[in-house]
Amino acid sequence: MSVDNNNSTSSPNFSSAIDAFQQGGIIAYPTEAVFGLGCNPNDIIAVKKLLALKNRAVEKGLILLAANYSQLLPFIDDKKIPQDKRDSVLSRWPDGVTQVMPANKDISNYLTGQFDTIAVRVTSQPDVVALCNAVNKPIVSTSANFSGEKPALTWQEVEQKMADKVDFIIKGKTLGFSQPSTIINALTGDVYRS
């Protein structure tokens, strides 16, 4: 397990986060409100490892966190988003709102779970933005905790509880939100989690 001790996306250690991502590792990183655990969404072995670490049922699906909408396009069925809804969908970002969107039919059910949709979010958290831009894709995002426990709020909590389970911890800070993201249906606005 590596830790980014310089707390900076420009530090040499940040390249270790990129390496861990590209080599199928599990990364702990700050999001808007809590620390997240993630991996490369195209690496199903890494996704399975993440689900096992969390003891999370595959049927629940996972969230993808990105620096911009274009990074999400390989995972969503953009053609199913009506033009008259597009502006409202995009206006909800960045930060704080996870939107459930039609999934690209070619992506793994390890990401979508039992659904034909995928939960996605665009963030402005600088560490996540830097990582996603460096690898030009989103990162899987699930809270840094074992199922049934409270999510970690700091890198120190992650290090204390999960140091031997993750491959890299980005020592950044959350954006300070008091609640995890709201989850809504992108097209209808129905709220699944507030």
With a pLDDT cut of 70, the percent of the chain lying above it is 93
Q: How far is CA 125 from the centre of its chain?
A: 11
The DSSP-derived string for 81-109 is S-HHHHHHHHHT-SSSEEEEEEBPTTS-H
Q: Is it the case that residue 171 has pLDDT exceeding 70?
A: yes
Q: Is pTM, for the whole model, over 0.85?
A: yes
Residues 6+ apart with CB under 8 A from 52: none
**Domain residue limits at 77:** 2-193
Residues in the chain: 194
Q: Return the pLDDT at 130.
A: 94
Q: Are 28 and 35 a contacting pair, CB within 8 Å?
A: yes
Q: Are 20 and 134 a contacting pair, CB within 8 Å?
A: no
Here the CATH number for the domain that contains residue 166 is 3.90.870.10
Nearest CA to 140 out of 121, 160, 126 is that of 121
Q: Are 39 and 48 a contacting pair, CB within 8 Å?
A: no
Q: Is it the case that residue 194 has pLDDT exceeding 80?
A: no
pLDDT band at 84 (very low <50, low <70, confident <90, very high): confident
- The mean pLDDT value for 171-178 works out to 90
Q: Return the pLDDT at 180.
A: 81
Alpha-carbon distance of 169 to 3, in angstroms, equals 5
Q: For 18-40, what is each residue's pLDDT tens digit?
A: 999 999 999 999 999 999 999 99
Q: Return the pLDDT at 117.
A: 95
The structure tokens listed for 65 are: 């966190």
Q: For 113-158, what is each residue's pLDDT tens digit?
A: 999 999 999 999 999 999 999 999 999 999 999 888 899 999 999 9
With a pLDDT cut of 90, the percent of the chain lying above it is 72
Q: Is it the case that residue 76 has pLDDT exceeding 90?
A: yes
Angle at 40 between CA 21 and CA 138, to 5 degrees: 105
| Domain total in the chain | 1
Alpha-carbon distance of 111 to 161, in angstroms, equals 25
The DSSP-derived string for 137-182 is S-EEEEESS-TTSPPP-SHHHHHHHHTTT-SEEE-------SSPPE
Q: Return the pLDDT at 190.
A: 87
Q: Return the pLDDT at 13.
A: 67
Q: Is it the case that residue 4 has pLDDT exceeding 60?
A: no
pLDDT band at 95 (very low <50, low <70, confident <90, very high): confident
